[in-house]
Chains A and B, each alone.
Chain A
Amino acid sequence: MISSLDQMVEKVHSMKKRHRIAVAWAQDQNTVSALARAVNDGFAEALMIGDNGAISEECRKLGVDPSVFKLLQSPDETSASKEAVSLAARGDADVVMKGLVGTDKFLKAVMDKEHGLMAPGGVMSYVCAVQLPAYHKLLFITDTAVIPFPDLEQKIAMAQYAIDMANRFGVEKPKVALIGASEKVSKHFSNSTDYAVMCKMAERGQIKNCIMDGPLDIFLACDPKSISIKGVDTPVAGDADVLVFPSLEACNPFYKGLMLFAGGELAGLIRGTTRPVVVMSRSESEKSKYYCIALSCLMA
């Protein structure tokens, strides 16, 4: 079982494979530096799509040898995004990554019905593996970035993607906590009723490979002491691997709070696509960016 992000990187190393990463509009300092490290570490090969002059200039600034990258000239961010996506769709790249292009334009190319990368029935959402000094293992959380108010079907997909990721990390039957403000079911909290439905689906094998419970608050999900204090009988038992949040507005501040105040690091990925798609926020640490790339290689 992989229980830290550094172990994840080791795992990717041990796969002895260079994953081909197509980067859309690659002339971005953060992107160049994180990729240079991944390439130097031997698990990535970067196809940098963009303005070759600008990419070389960024390399020069960072003291990176541009020849470690494969450079592909592209006139603008939209064509660069399309090119990156089509490389992956054709099987000429294993991972697609956003460079300096706006997230909207980039994801539009990913979601293109004909030439894009959406899996049949795929629900685009974002899963993060979060590492925290205060927790004994990695936490897989969703959705930090894509779906504002997931409906039942979207929540089911989100949960399944997070479970699949945890499986990939060697967590065989992840404990999934469906997060709410309380553990009670109430028709006034539509998320709580969705959660009850999901738990039954997990019981019936309609959501696979997990132990699921919810609604649970964060304490019941992650703190065994709270279980005994509150007396809630839950199989997650304060030992959650996966946290599914009711909304982006709940999940996004949760992860940002952890990064800012609790010394967290993360690796995150877009899910619902046929190939891993890396979209990193500019505010993420250098380390987290590197972890995102490693994660995409693990999931490729």
Chain B
Amino acid sequence: MLRKLEDLKPIVINEPVKKLVLAAAQDQHSLSAVLRAAMDKIIEPILIGDKEAIQNIATTNGFDITGLRIIHEPQTDMAVEMSVKMVSSKQADVLMKGKIGTSQLLKCVLNKEWGLRTGHLLSHFALFEVDTYHKLIAVTDVAMNIAPNLQDKIAIVNNSVDCLHKLGIPIPKVAVLGAVEMVNENMEATLDAALLSKMNQRDQIRGCIIDGPLAFDNAVSLESSQHKGIRSEVAGDTDLLLMPDIEVGNVLYKSLVFFAKAKVASVILGAQAPIVLTSRSDSEQAKYDSILLAAAASKK
């Protein structure tokens, strides 16, 4: 069982080392996390960007970049395009955002000719280490899909379950989150939850056990689910929490980080390779852990 984000390390270390391409690498925070991950043999970096700027950052911050593969491309859009193509041509296993806007990067990822499309929906997958829970818990989607419909939710679950399989959880338990555990016709999320559960029972969504609607407490606490008399294989032992929409997801994500002091790693799934898309507000540790997660998720 994975209890800590650190527990992802053996998964990565036992595999051939993954190549991570950092798009527009002249970014201090990303660079620092990438270099640390490289030192720990979690990934082998390829830095694409303005070589001079990269060197300046390294000098200023005391980073050692000797021997690293750096491809000089001062124009940001060209650097991103080159990075994406490196992944689509299988020369790299993980894509990471450097000094570039998220939308600009995603535009390249979704490029019809040379992007990383697979026909699947892209979704955000966050993996939390919370002291008060007995194992790592994944939450999706807190950052990418705004108001997923049923089809989108199926795609999001599939992306996430596939990733959890790679992390060594053979049959992840998926809780579809609602405000209540009862089905209520006026709460769309509870209806979708019922449908997802049934589709799972009918093998229309495979590789996991889905139950929902479950209120947050029922999902993560056996005691509170028993208190409510809910009979569920998932309740209290959830591996993956499926959010009804981005507002709920984002607030939960931030509450876990700010109030529960959770550690988090996150990655974009559904493309040809995992994408590390951390924001500037993420801690250095979160960036490092996200690289670790992406490396584990890129397991073949």
Contact = CB atoms under 8 A, between A and B. Distances in A.
Interface of A: 152-153, 183-185, 187, 193, 195-197, 199-201, 203-206, 232-233
Nearest to B193: A200
Contact of B183 (A183, A184, A187, A201): A201
Contacts of B191: 193, 197
A201 B201 CA distance: 15
A199 B194 contact: yes
Contacts of B181: 204
Given A184-B202, A204-B230, A196 B197 contact: yes
A221 to B, nearest CB: 15
B182 A185 contact: no
A206 B181 CA distance: 11
Interface residues of B, number: 20
Interface string B169-210: 000000000000111010000010111011101101000000
Given A187-B150, A204-B230, A199 B198 contact: yes
A196 B150 CA distance: 13
B201 A197 contact: no
Interface of B: 150-151, 181-183, 185, 191, 193-195, 197-199, 201-202, 204, 213, 229-231
Given A152-B185, A196-B195, A200-B197, 9 more contacts: A185-B202, A185-B204, A196-B194, A197-B195, A199-B197, A200-B193, A201-B182, A201-B194, A206-B183
B275 to A, nearest CB: 29
A200 B230 contact: no
Given A184-B204, A197-B191, A204 B198 contact: no
Contacts of A153: 185
B202 A183 contact: yes
A55 B34 CA distance: 96
B202 A200 contact: no
A234 B185 CA distance: 25
Contacts of A187: 150-151
Nearest to B181: A204
A250 B181 CA distance: 32
A205 B194 contact: no
A193 B182 contact: no
A200 B194 contact: yes
10 contacts: A152-B185, A153-B185, A183-B202, A184-B204, A185-B195, A185-B199, A196-B195, A197-B185, A200-B183, A200-B213
A197 B204 contact: no
A191 B202 CA distance: 16
A289 B213 CA distance: 45
Given A196-B197, A197-B191, A197-B195, A204 B183 contact: yes
